[in-house]
């Protein structure tokens, strides 16, 4: 029956994946809260005009739109929560002393999917620091992302840094490019198309060659031009104290269109593709602009890869089990499942252990 099917790109989250996603989300938000990031919960949809124009250089793409029957205006279902957090900070929390530290979690919806990423709906969790985009602010956010993922049991974390405004900085200074060729140059650099770059501005070819492990890439970029010194110094400061694998891809811009001086992607061993990304950006306010930095993590690919999932500890309680003993066992971390009739069994309830004469024993043992 078609009534039992879901549209392409959507899926139900079943146990144990839904439980694993909730635990991961709780660890991330708990770590963020411990660092002063308080949670906001933005609306699922809002006026399209307000959503599209909240982040500088952001473009309204992959947005599901519909006409609100009440206001008769076009509404948009959020494809990303970052812009909504920016709206909250710029309006309802505009009076709050800066910087504002906020965290969030929720579903996002894309209009289209790709062959490599067929999901149109996904769970997003993250942190945004509004009012500052300094190296110190970026370092705090990157550190929280690593700490939160580690607390959730994610191993093999790596971070790939990029410099989204790199072409703008160089083109406006030591390595000029005709204004009508800048966008094409950005695209060719993003595609790592050495031939295309050579045809437009061959002086930019060393940027493609610089991509790679952090120390070597940093050395190559420092030899490129002194105009990058401040950004490279910032990356160096960011890397200090991070006990994860680090790389630099100075020309990567796909998905970083609204980021300013810094962008980064987060990866984990055993998970295909990135599990999160972040960077610095600009929030548009009624009275001007405001710098910000943040990160977003994508829960579904982590859980679906089976990374960071907790071992099931389900304890079967036979009929007549002592409620006080069961409460003590739950306090020790057990999940207790009580039999509701004499025919119930540990196997039927997917229990790993059972309570026999007051003792915990392996189920089936």
The encoded tokens of residue 55 equal 């982040």
- Range with the lowest mean pLDDT among 11-15, 64-68, 141-145? 11-15
Q: Is the bond into 16 cis (omega within 30 degrees of 0)?
A: yes
Using pLDDT thresholds of 50, 70 and 90, give the confidence band for residue 59.
low
Q: What is the rounded CA–CA span in Å between residue 148 and residue 131? A: 23
pLDDT (average), residues 106-122: 85
Q: What is the rounded CA–CA span in Å between residue 303 and residue 159? A: 19
The residue that leads in pLDDT, 176 or 36, is 36
Any idea of the CA torsion for 290, 293, 299, 305, to the nearest 10 degrees? Answer: 150
pLDDT (average), residues 147-161: 94
Q: What is the rounded CA–CA span in Å between residue 175 and residue 171? A: 5
Q: What is the pLDDT of residue 269?
A: 93
Q: What is the rounded CA–CA span in Å between residue 343 and residue 28? A: 41
Burial class (CB in 10 A: 0-12, 13-18, 19+), 278: buried
Using pLDDT thresholds of 50, 70 and 90, give the confidence band for residue 180.
confident
Q: What is the rounded CA–CA span in Å between residue 355 and residue 321? A: 8
Nearest Cα to Cα of residue 84 among 31, 40, 145: 40
Q: How far is CA 71 from CA 65, 74, 201, in A?
A: 14, 9, 50
Using pLDDT thresholds of 50, 70 and 90, give the confidence band for residue 231.
confident
> With contact defined as beta carbons under 8 Å apart, do 157 and 245 qualify?
yes
**Is the pLDDT assigned to residue 58 strictly greater than 80?**
no
CATH of segment(s) 1-161+253-310: 3.30.930.10
**Is the pLDDT assigned to residue 114 strictly greater than 80?**
no
The per-residue pLDDT for range 308-340, each reduced to its tens digit, is 677 788 999 999 999 999 999 999 999 999 999
pLDDT (average), residues 211-232: 86
Crossing angle between the packed helical segments 17-34 and 135-151, to the nearest 10 degrees: 140
The encoded tokens of residue 300 equal 């579904």
Residue the block writes with tokens 């309006």: 91
pLDDT (average), residues 112-121: 80
Q: What is the pLDDT of residue 2?
A: 58
**Is the pLDDT assigned to residue 150 strictly greater than 90?**
yes
Q: What is the pLDDT of residue 60?
A: 66
134: DSSP letter? S
Q: Show me where the domains of the chain are located.
A: 1-161+253-310, 165-252, 314-362
Q: What is the rounded CA–CA span in Å between residue 167 and residue 156? A: 31
The encoded tokens of residue 157 equal 């974390």
If you average pLDDT over every residue of the chain, what do you get?
90
> With contact defined as beta carbons under 8 Å apart, do 177 and 185 qualify?
yes
User: Which segments of 73-193 does DSSP mark as H helices, in order?
Assistant: 82-90, 135-151, 166-171, 182-190
């Amino acid at each position: 029956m078609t009534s039992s099917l879901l549209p392409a790109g959507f899926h139900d989250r079943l146990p144990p994946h839904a439980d694993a996603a909730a635990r991961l989300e709780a660890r991330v938000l708990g770590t963020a809260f411990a660092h002063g990031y308080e949670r906001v919960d933005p609306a699922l949809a809002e006026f399209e005009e307000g959503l599209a124009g909240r982040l500088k250089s952001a473009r309204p793409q992959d947005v599901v739109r519909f006409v609100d029957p009440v206001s008769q205006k076009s509404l948009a279902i959020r494809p990303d929560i970052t812009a909504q957090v920016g709206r909250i900070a710029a309006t309802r929390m505009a009076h709050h002393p800066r910087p504002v530290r906020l965290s969030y979690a929720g579903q996002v919806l894309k209009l289209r999917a790709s062959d490599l990423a067929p999901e149109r709906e996904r769970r997003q969790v993250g942190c945004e620091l509004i009012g500052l985009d300094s190296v110190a602010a970026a370092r705090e956010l990157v550190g929280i992302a690593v700490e939160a993922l580690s607390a959730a049991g994610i191993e093999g974390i790596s971070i790939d840094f990029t410099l989204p405004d790199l072409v703008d900085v160089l083109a406006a200074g030591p390595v000029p490019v005709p204004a009508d060729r800048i966008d094409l140059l950005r695209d060719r650099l993003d595609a790592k198309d050495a031939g295309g770059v050579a045809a437009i501005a061959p002086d930019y070819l060393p940027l493609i060659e610089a991509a790679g492990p952090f120390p070597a890439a940093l050395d190559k970029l420092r030899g490129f031009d002194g105009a990058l010194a401040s950004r490279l110094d910032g990356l160096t400061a960011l890397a200090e104290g991070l006990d994860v694998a680090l790389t630099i891809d100075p020309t990567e811009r796909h998905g970083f269109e609204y980021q300013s001086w810094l962008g980064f992607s987060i990866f984990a061993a055993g998970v295909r593709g990135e599990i999160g990304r972040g960077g610095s950006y600009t929030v548009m306010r009624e009275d001007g602009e405001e710098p910000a930095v943040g990160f977003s993590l994508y829960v579904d690919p982590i859980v679906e890869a089976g990374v960071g999932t907790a071992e099931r500890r389900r304890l079967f309680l036979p009929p007549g089990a002592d409620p006080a003993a069961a409460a003590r066992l739950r306090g020790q971390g057990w999940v207790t499942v009580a039999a509701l009739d004499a025919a119930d069994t540990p196997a039927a309830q997917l229990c790993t252990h059972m309570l026999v004469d007051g003792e915990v024993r392996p189920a089936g043992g």
